[in-house]
Structure 1
Amino acid sequence: MTVLVTRPAGDSEKTVARLAERGIAAIAAPVMAIRPLPDIALAEIALPEKADPATCRALIVTSANAIRTLAGRPELAALAAVPLYAVGDHTAETARQAGFTDVRSAAGDVHDLARLLRAEIRPGEGRLVHLSGREVAGDLAGELAAAGYETERRIVYETVAADALPAAARDALEGAEITAVLLYSPRSAETFGALARNAGLGDYLARVAAVVISENVAEKARAFGFGHIFVAERPDESALIAALERFLKQSIR
């Protein structure tokens, strides 16, 4: 039984190695690439040279990619001491490794993140600055605005869909070697399904399980005819892998 991992290049390989430690064979099959916005595009949304708590009470990060794309930029050093609220533990750990010193994790989804912010910061104490990709899941800004918070979104990267599935992934699907596909976002689910169909492999998905990180991802995956869909109990990779292991055990029986 072999699993396809659809995370972007670099991340996919890390997950493949993580699965190998558990005795699960996997193939890296990135369907999205992370592209930092060029400096010229950052001119209008550049981070402040010095964070002023009166105007920037806290940073919000809903993807570790936002932290990674800022690595090496001079703005990062200026913001390192600003409280940073991360959607999950992986994103929080990425922020700590990048040098942020005051990091809190909501250990969940954007609703959990909004609840954490409401519990620790009062409306009117300053602006919440959301470092994000061009596309975001959920309406965090709307939820916070409804609770009286001032938010500002600063786009620091974008995701770009792959033109085709990697050859190894196509061959494994066609050879009926793939048991499951790990899907991490609604867009990656749509992109994977479309690439499989474009390669003439859409019918093969009926033999494959989609193991997804949230119900939002499951909704997109259902449109492509996967044989089974399993949703992680929490929106993080550890829960996703746990869901995969439960599915694989069930398949062996």
Structure 2
Amino acid sequence: MRIVVTRPQRSGERTAAKLEALGHTPVLLPLFHPVHHGERAISALSAPMGAIAVTSAEALRALARSEEQLAPYLSKPLFAVGGATAEAARKTGFERIFTASGDALGLTALVKQHRTFLSENEPLLYLAGRPRGTVFEEGLAAAAIPFRTVDCYEMLLSVISQSMLETALAEPAADVVLLYSSEAARAFFRHVSADRYRLKLAATKFICISRNVLSLVPEIFRANAIAAEEPSEAAMFELLRHHSGT
């Protein structure tokens, strides 16, 4: 199957390798690209804090060039939103990693279970990016958990030309499009709003990482769109296997 991967280039390449191993033909269409601000994260780490939270592996990549400055903080508890982020934390060198179920609600619940790590003097440090949802920070505030947020990366819209769209989506037509975030869904359907893409994608399936992302699929494509049971790539691949037989 011809499968369009809308993740940023680095993570998209890892997904493409998995798809190739399953016999598919992946096509990269990176809708966003990261800009890292590792110096902000290192500065924030130097202030008192009881634990760290990350909702994306991109936050850990922002620290990649700061190994020496990062070393004193690798023993701090780190709350990761899901398995991929936890693996990135392990590769970065963090030693005490707690892994949530894959979404902001699960991460909030995990932090609440371990709130004894935290105090007003040593709050949770959330290494965040933009754009982002508000669920995690709102959940922390509602639970009266002290925290600080620092934006250590930005995901900026990539320049997508008409020829890139034609190559990815219509030459030949894509069998599946993988949508990993609300931002990606919004960006993708802004690009394909033209009538010619509506017709060319009429038989394309859209596999969404969550029901929230599914809700952003336009009505004209909704009949061919499905959401993973849990917000993970593994669950998305399970849907892919179910519909492709691999």
| 2:61 is equivalent to residue 68 of structure 1 | yes
| Aligned partner of residue 206 in structure 1, secondary structure | coil
What do the CA deviations read for 1:211-249 (whole angstroms, capped 9, x no partner)?
011111111123563551111111111111111221224
Select which of 45, 50, 71 maps to 1:57: 50
Letter in 1 for 2:58: N
Distance (whole Å) between structure 2 residues aligned to residue 199 and residue 81 of structure 1: 54
| Aligned partner of residue 50 in structure 2, secondary structure | strand
| 2:45 is equivalent to residue 48 of structure 1 | yes
Answer whether contact 1:86 1:92 (CA < 8 A) is retained.
yes
Offset at residue 98 of structure 1 (A):
0.6
Answer whether contact 1:208 1:227 (CA < 8 A) is retained.
no
Q: For structure 2, list consecutive stretches of 5 or more residues without a partner in the other structure.
A: none
4+ runs deviating over 6 angstroms = none
Distance (whole Å) between structure 2 residues aligned to residue 10 and residue 231 of structure 1: 23
Q: For structure 1, list consecutive stretches of 5 or more residues without a partner in the other structure.
A: none
Alignment match, 1:109: 103
What do the CA deviations read for 1:90-122 (whole angstroms, capped 9, x no partner)?
100100101111111013211111111111223
Alignment match, 1:80: 74
| 2:197 is equivalent to residue 204 of structure 1 | no
| Aligned partner of residue 128 in structure 2, secondary structure | strand
Structure 1-normalised TM-score? 0.87
Q: How does 1:1-253 map to 2 (within 5 A)?
A: 1-37=1-37, 42=40, 46-49=43-46, 55-73=48-66, 74-122=68-116, 124=119, 126-164=122-160, 167=163, 169-197=165-193, 200-222=196-218, 225-249=221-245
What do the CA deviations read for 1:116-140 (whole angstroms, capped 9, x no partner)?
1111223637301110102212421
Answer whether contact 2:45 2:125 (CA < 8 A) is retained.
no
Offset at residue 163 of structure 1 (A):
1.9
Offset at residue 174 of structure 1 (A):
2.2
Answer whether contact 1:47 1:75 (CA < 8 A) is retained.
no
Computed over aligned residues only, the root mean square deviation of the Cα atoms, in angstroms, reads 2.4
How many residues are paired up? 243
Offset at residue 26 of structure 1 (A):
1.2
Offset at residue 168 of structure 1 (A):
5.4
| Aligned CA distance change for structure 1 residues 14 and 224 (closer, same or farther; 3 Å) | farther
Structure 2-normalised TM-score? 0.89
Distance (whole Å) between structure 1 residues aligned to residue 209 and residue 44 of structure 2: 31
